[in-house]
Amino acid sequence: MAKINNIHLNNFRNFTNYKISFEKKINVLIGENGCGKTNLLEAISLISKGRGIRNSSIANLIKKKEHNFLIKNNLEINNNNFDIEIFTENKNNKFKKIVKVNEDSSKDSIDILNQFISILIFVPEMERLFQASPSYRRNFIDRLVFASKNTYNILVNKYKKFLLERIKILQKNVIDNNWLNQIERDISSLGLEIYQLRCSQINYINNNLIILKKDHKFPFNLKLQIKDDYFNEDLSFEEYLSYLFNSRSYDKQFGGTKIGPHRSDILAIINNDFDASLLSTGQQKTIVLMILLAQCNYLVNHKNINPILLLDEIGSHLDSYNRQILLDMINRFEIQFFLSGTDKDLFSFISTNAKFYNITEL
Ligand SMILES: Nc1ncnc2c1ncn2[C@@H]1O[C@H](COP(=O)(O)OP(=O)(O)OP(=O)(O)O)[C@@H](O)[C@H]1O
Ligand SMILES: [Mg+2]
């Protein structure tokens, strides 16, 4: 299980030089708007692959007028301590995130780190998850798949690269058919894998919600499903390939591929009756918390993965149902939480075993 003992930020966002030690269980970051709570959660999230909770460009993470940031973490994994350094490298004005584990940046040591680190997030935008665009929901599900399978992003990146390649070929005057056929075969096999992984993740969440329902009274019945005109669980490689073949001329004109997991939507059906887009923002927060609870249950009890939870501005819109889900998440699992909010009072219901930090230093 992974826990962050402390973090030291240098020239990261609004922080010049800021060090803070954390508790193993519940850490609540409190402070005025703009003091740096989300920035601190973002810094923690960078320990995982990718660009963090805001999916920001690396250049924007560097404190204005500075040239580099350095984040040092001390991480505990199964009672062993690791020193993690995260910083930027600038090559031809392109910034790259570099990670070192105990001063070693070899692929092997980063792979080991990624095996143990799994981060789940809540950001305030998720209160409108079911009114946002489908790409936002795809991203949400993709983060959940990634938290369970840390090679998932490699798959998605490869898939996106092949999609671009296919359009480039289609838009050429002279088409290399062998090359196009091969690319479409690659797209079909990667696309199917993405569909299947998303589908399994959604099934795990739906099933874990059913398991949890036995001793947790949820305000709604929730069922997630993929909405996609071209996908069903029996979709074969050959069918996928023929869809791509048949949409060549459309895709050439449209400049994008009409078919595939990059076009799916994720629906949340409430009480077998209506779509979650009709829910209020507070109720959408309930849905997201239910999904996170189910995801934690799946990761901890079925995958033996202990995620770290980063819940930004989680204090608002917490009615008794939402509190109950959050409390259940805290009580049920031995995992580390980082919560943020503007007011300590919002967290009084968990204050007995939480440590509060006033984020003030700029
Ligand atoms: N690259 C940067 N360099 C310097 N300052 C930055 C940089 N990026 C963001 N900031 C500043 O960091 C400050 C804190 O931002 P942050 O989003 O963490 O605040 P917050 O505590 O989460 O506030 P809120 O309660 O409103 O969500 C903002 O004033 C922002 O302008
Ligand atoms: Mg914030």
Question: Do the domain assignments include residue 351?
Answer: yes
The Å distance, Cα 325 to ligand 1 centre, comes to 29
Region 34-40: what's the mean pLDDT? Answer: 97
Task: Give the pLDDT confidence score for residue 263 in this predicted structure.
Answer: 97
What six digits make up the tokens of 101? Answer: 């584990």
Question: Do the domain assignments include residue 188?
Answer: no
Which of 304, 320, 323 minimizes the C-alpha distance to 116?
A: 304
Region 267-295: what's the mean pLDDT? Answer: 96
Domain of residue 39, residue span: 1-118+308-362
Task: Count the neighbouring beta carbons within 10 Å of the beta carbon of residue 4.
Answer: 22
Give the rounded percent of residues in the chain with a pLDDT score beyond 90: 91
pTM: 0.95
> Is residue 43 within 8 Å of residue 104, measured between CB atoms?
no
Could you tell me if the CB of 33 is within 6 A of ligand 1?
yes
In terms of pLDDT, which residue wins out, 72 or 94? 72
Task: Measure CA 334 to chain center.
Answer: 20
Could you tell me if the CB of 91 is within 6 A of ligand 1?
no
pLDDT tier at 84, thresholds 50, 70, 90: very high
Task: Give the pLDDT confidence score for residue 344 in this predicted structure.
Answer: 92
What is the rounded distance in angstroms from the CA atom of residue 270 to the CA atom of residue 277? 10
- Protein residue with least CA distance to atom 29, ligand 1: 34
Return the CATH number at 62: 3.40.50.300
**Residue 89 corresponds to which amino acid?**
E
- Protein residue with least CA distance to atom 3, ligand 1: 63
Question: Do the domain assignments include residue 142?
Answer: no
Region 56-69: what's the mean pLDDT? Answer: 96
Go through the chain and tell me how many residues it has: 362
Task: Give the pLDDT confidence score for residue 362 in this predicted structure.
Answer: 52
- What's the pLDDT tens digit per position in 208-232? 999 999 999 999 999 999 999 999 9
Could you tell me if the CB of 39 is within 6 A of ligand 1?
yes
- Choose one of 37, 41, 67, 362 to mutate for the ligand 1 pocket test, by most ligand atoms within 8 angstroms of C-beta: 37
The Å distance, Cα 70 to ligand 2 centre, comes to 21
| Mean pLDDT, rounded, of the chain | 95
What is the rounded distance in angstroms from the CA atom of residue 355 to the CA atom of residue 28? 6
Question: Do the domain assignments include residue 325?
Answer: yes
What six digits make up the tokens of 25? Answer: 């269980």
Give the rounded percent of residues in the chain with a pLDDT score beyond 70: 99
- Choose one of 9, 10, 12, 14 to mutate for the ligand 1 pocket test, by most ligand atoms within 8 angstroms of C-beta: 14
Question: Do the domain assignments include residue 97?
Answer: yes
Strand partners, 97: 88
What six digits make up the tokens of 314? Answer: 């989680």
Question: Do the domain assignments include residue 267?
Answer: no
Atom of ligand 1 nearest to the CA of 31: 21
Question: Do the domain assignments include residue 41?
Answer: yes
Region 12-33: what's the mean pLDDT? Answer: 96
Task: Give the pLDDT confidence score for residue 361 in this predicted structure.
Answer: 59
Atom of ligand 1 nearest to the CA of 341: 25
What is the rounded distance in angstroms from the CA atom of residue 38 to the CA atom of residue 344? 16
Question: Do the domain assignments include residue 11?
Answer: yes
What six digits make up the tokens of 130? Answer: 């079911």
The Å distance, Cα 107 to ligand 2 centre, comes to 33
Region 185-207: what's the mean pLDDT? Answer: 98
What six digits make up the tokens of 354? Answer: 């939480």
Region 36-59: what's the mean pLDDT? Answer: 96
- For the chain, the domain total comes to 1
Task: Give the pLDDT confidence score for residue 18 in this predicted structure.
Answer: 97
